[in-house]
Amino acid sequence: MTRSQRSTDPWRPRPSIRAAALFLALAASCLTSVNPAAADAGAHALSMHGTPKYAAGFTHFDYADPNAPKGGRVVLGQTGSFDTLNPLIIRGEPVAGIREWVYETLMARGLDEPFTMYGLIAKTIEVPEDRASVTFHLDPAARFSDGAAVTADDVIFSMETLRARGRPNHRNSYKKVVRTERLSDLAVKFVFDDSGDREMPLIMASMPVLPKHLLTPENFERTTLVPIIGSGPYTIAAVDAGRSITYRRNPDYWGRDLPVNKGRFNFDEIRYEYFRDISVQFEAFKSGVLDARTEDDPKLWSSGYDVPAKRDGRILTREIETGLPAGMSALAFNIRRPVFQDPRVRQALLMLFNFEWVNKTLYHGLYKRTESFFERSYLSSAGKPADAREREMLAPFPGAVRTDIMEGRHRVPVSDGTGHNRENAREAFRLFSEAGFVIDAGRLVHKQTRQPLTFEILAGSTAQQRLIASYVSDLAKLGIAARLRVVDSAQYQSRLKDYDYDMIQTAWPSSLSPGNEQIFRWDSRTADTPGSFNFVGVKNPAVDAMINHLLEAKSDDDFTSAVRALDRVLLSGDYVIPLFHASRQWIAHWKQLRAPERFPLWGYNLDTWWIDGQN
């Protein structure tokens, strides 16, 4: 999630009559991102599609309470460890919270819209109708926490450093910048290549801004435990390597009175405590060491919180509605490995996952099966026949989408809910036979090479053991020798970065405005790039083309068709074994934590909460 901030501090200039008139003019024109006149004047906001929800002169986001009290400390839990404070590089295991509390982006994302950015470090933005460039005009009040002004030089340094040395998603996006123009100390223009990627102005607006006066490209790339300086609302107060980090609200934060920040960043301190084991973390919450936690274990949610503090009202539990897609949670094949290169093998292994039994016995029946990479949203292709525009996009790639998926008839395999799954096992064995496998002495082996079908499922926490062990047991019934291997978080991240695994359990979250992150997940160019989220190793021209279509889409209809077409191609590739999702977000917290009456489209958002002094 992109954080936002801004304010009127000692450095804020007084608004002029001309600025007030400009704001009124922009409000009248709704400040749409495609209105050249508004863009030329310098708009307060930019939407991927349509009109920003909040017009110029808005006072605060609807989901934030501008009267929320400041003060107190909140303690949160993290599983694993950390060895660096820099989350923007591949090296090391980064600590939680830097992007949220210390580094700011050029503009702030509104969380009750699909994808709209509002003024933050960049006070206004200019975008031509073709979106071939973007110009940011910086707020002269913007300051890093050491008092240094944020200038165009910092913005240019950030882009160039992240493009050359940052994580693969930054490198892939920012390489589309073909020219940078420093217009003044407080204005910078980025000109894009001819790829037609209409999301690029918003991608640049989401860029974290680094302090050039404190960094060089070389020292940026190193892991560090030295407190990082940013322009955000918090500074780093204390670091206990691998164990905890404490953020302290900056009383001189330059952006505290900006509309995008009103009612946000209310805690005086935010502390993350690290735990090696998730069960220990849960006990820490129940005992009051931790103040809040998001829950993803249905067993714990259904019965684990039945403790005295919950019964007497000191612990509260909430089920929060969210308008976001559930995304894809899955067991992911690494198709770089020979064992998974035959799609019939992948299809058969998918047949053997007994969701109905797993959901009933392990998860109290609280999950729903995931059938789309954009599950729980109108962007999903599940149950919908392809429209004419989708078919037009997919026409150059015959065979890229299976007929049942194109016609909206596809369903993931459904079992009878028992632990036997016989019908699906028979179909799986048929697919294995087509792929050249036979049963020999109780093992599934290839009839020509005599090599058994065997692979390893890598896990980064013990929380994954029950699910994977159940699946391994089902595979063994058909003579498949799958192995579960649990490693510590540092080793897991290292192996993930280098694609050193056969299969993993992972998730690709989604929003209502999927864009450049799809390149980082599925594009052929990222399949062999260390550190990308293309965990599967997808190299599919149809996938690449559908990503281009969604990036180039100018209308909502074209965009929706492109996303659904991408969904169909990914589903047809049988790249993953879809798992499940919860219909709501599960949150537990101690009574002293309070939230606004209204939650955004994105659901739970801690930066709008506060401490109730009466509790």
SS (H, E, C) 339-394: HHCCHHHHHHHHHCCCHHHHHHHHCCCCCEECCCCCCCCCCCCCCCCCCHHHHHHH
Strand ranges inside 205-314, DSSP E: 234-240, 244-249, 269-275, 292-295
Low-confidence ranges of the chain (pLDDT < 50): 1-40
CB of 261 closer than 8 Å to CB of 233 = yes
Half-sphere exposure of 371 (CA within 13 A, CB side): 18
Write down the pLDDT at residue 401. Answer: 98
Write down the pLDDT at residue 615. Answer: 55
Cα-Cα-Cα-Cα torsion 558, 559, 562, 563, nearest 10 degrees, comes to -150
Measured distance CA(562)–CA(544) in Å, rounded: 11
Helix and strand numbers (H, E) in the chain are 19, 25
Average pLDDT, the chain: 91
Q: Which domains does the chain have, with CATH numbers?
A: 17-58+76-220 (3.40.190.10), 285-322+584-615 (no CATH), 328-581 (3.10.105.10)
Write down the pLDDT at residue 390. Answer: 98
pLDDT digits (tens, 9 = 90+) for 403-435: 999 999 999 999 988 888 899 999 999 999 999
Measured distance CA(115)–CA(140) in Å, rounded: 26
CB of 111 closer than 8 Å to CB of 605 = yes
Q: At what angle do helices 556-572 and 541-552 cross, to 10 degrees?
A: 160
